[in-house]
Amino acid sequence: MTAQRHIPSVDSLLKQPAVSELVNLYGHVWTVEAIRQVLDQLRSSPELCQSLTTDSIIVTLRQKLESQASFSIKPVINATGVLLHTNLGRAPLSEAGFEAIGNLVGAYSNLEFDLSKGSRGNRSIHATQMLKQLLGVESALVVNNNAGAVLLILSALVKGKKVAISRSQLIEIGGGFRIPEVMRQSGAKLYEVGATNRTHLSDYAAALDDGAQMILLAHPSNFKISGFTAQPELHELIDLARQYEVPLVYDLGSGALLDTSAYGIAREPTVQEILAAGADLVCFSGDKLLGGPQSGIIVGRQTLIARLNRHPLYRALRPDKLILITLSAVLLSYLRGKADSEIPLYQMLSRSLDELKQTAQEVLRQLGQGELQEGQSTIGGGSLPEESLPTWLVAFSTPLPEKLCKSLREQQPPVIARIQKNQVVCDLRTIRPKDLPVFTKSLEKALIAIKEKHEK
């Protein structure tokens, strides 16, 4: 209790020159609140008061204010081997995306201004023009994510009407997004056809005979159904939709524009193939296999997209300038034929085993500990389920693997690793080459910290 009597008051601390500097940096109200929090912590923890000094309190106060004033979203080093890690922001943006943001965000822009006419323009035109040129479509529209794209399509085109969809495609993706629930929210009426494992063309025809006004296909991006299965061919469904004069909409999910089989993984249907087959609308994510920012992209018939553009819900779902700027930069890489060399996702997919092995060996050489192991990288992000790529790992045996992972997360920048067979392993495929020096240094610090704790 004696030590606690020497805890200074708020006013006495505010008179300290070092605290006055903090007030200038962080403001009076914020600093006073931080002082109170620090002092309350001291009062509730007598053991902290044993070596109490004014200087030590100010050091703690400065650390608290620095922590509170820093961005809670920060860059991390992804050593998990999951390329599209949903919890880590999915697709990392390209250098071109960074440059575009730097050039445009700090200034005014012609986001909704027509420079040729000198009057108000349409923000959607920027990405739309690139998508039309890249995919050869009549029109395109960008919203803030693909779930929003599905919701807008259903709300604008078939509210109060029946929509035919196979039972095998009533999917749920991360975050509890379910096709049936989106349908209910949009006002569309779900018309399930077929069985979980087998759906036939006649099932769709029966739904259309019963008044269904749209065929909706949802690509099962994050799971597979195998065994005794059946689905009509896409061209058969398109012919059926034409016969009944209803639109066929394909929710493609991940939205690949490149042939994924060229990178040693399963072939994902591309947006271009679905459009060429005759789908009326195709929607897909911008932040998965496209390799861009979170967004939902809708491409296809101009008459249908014009209705989406006019719908009141579009204003709630439209993207801001950051999405449009970074998406445009990514699309430009595709237009220039340099997507595989400029977009980080495809750079990671393209890294050879020899390169990864040499990199891992160099990391282990610098650390002087750990072991080299073969492993598997995964795509993640609800894309290409069960698909993986061979890789090389650096692995560390420790009696406290969870604590080593925690110590890695406490580094600057944090390193996110994984535990495998009671070892902490880091996959070199998902670590950018320019991050290797700081990654190696962080590993070294974390390993030393864990060793010291264990010895104590």
Given a cut of 70, whether residue 50 has pLDDT beyond it is no
Measured on CA atoms in the order 139, 144, 149, 152, is the torsion positive or negative?
A: negative
Mean pLDDT of 290-304: 95
CATH topology for 94-342? Aspartate Aminotransferase; domain 2 (3.40.640)
Tally: H helices and E strands in the chain: 19, 17
234-238, 323-327, 378-382, 388-392, range with the lowest pLDDT: 378-382
The strand pair at 139-143 and 296-300 is best described as antiparallel
Mean pLDDT of 21-38: 91
N-terminal to C-terminal alpha carbon distance within the chain: 29
Quickly state the pLDDT bin for 442 (edges 50, 70, 90): very high
106-120, 131-145, 287-301, 308-322, range with the lowest pLDDT: 106-120
Structure-token pair, residue 30: 């914020």
What length is written for the chain?
456
Specify the pLDDT at position 47: 65
Specify the pLDDT at position 183: 84
Rounded Cα distance, 433 and 99, in Å: 19
Residue with tokens 């992804």: 78
Say if CB 183 and CB 150 are below 8 A apart. no
Specify the pLDDT at position 375: 95
63-67, 162-166, 337-341, range with the lowest pLDDT: 63-67
Mean pLDDT of 41-65: 80
Specify the pLDDT at position 1: 45
Structure-token pair, residue 225: 């159904």
Quickly state the pLDDT bin for 266 (edges 50, 70, 90): confident
Mean pLDDT of 281-293: 93
Per-residue CA distances from 209 to 173, 188, 239, 240 (Å): 31, 17, 15, 11
Quickly state the pLDDT bin for 247 (edges 50, 70, 90): very high
Q: Domain locations in the chain?
A: 3-69, 77-86+346-455, 94-342
Helix (H, G, I), strand (E, B) or coil at 381: coil
Given a cut of 50, whether residue 13 has pLDDT beyond it is yes
Q: What is the pTM of this model?
A: 0.85
Specify the pLDDT at position 90: 86
HSE, side-chain direction, 13 A CA sphere, residue 11: 0
Specify the pLDDT at position 138: 96
Rounded Cα distance, 67 and 74, in Å: 12
Q: What is the pLDDT of residues 150-164, one digit of tens each?
A: 999 999 999 999 999
Specify the pLDDT at position 367: 94
The share of the chain scoring above pLDDT 70, in percent, equals 93
Rounded Cα distance, 245 and 243, in Å: 6
5-19, 204-218, 405-419, 434-448, range with the lowest pLDDT: 5-19
79 vs 5, higher pLDDT:
79
H/E segment holding residue 299: strand 296-300
CATH topology for 77-86+346-455? Aspartate Aminotransferase, domain 1 (3.90.1150)
| The amino acid at 409 | R
Do 77-86+346-455 and 94-342 have matching folds?
no
Within the chain, what is the greatest distance between any pair of CA atoms? 89
148-162, 171-185, 191-205, 240-254, range with the lowest pLDDT: 171-185
Mean pLDDT of 182-191: 89
Angle between helices 321-335 and 95-104 (to 10 degrees): 140
269 vs 51, higher pLDDT:
269
Mean pLDDT of the chain: 89
107-121, 175-189, 367-381, range with the lowest pLDDT: 175-189
Query: Considering only CA atoms, which of 445, 303, 347, 395 is closest in space to residue 94?
Result: 347
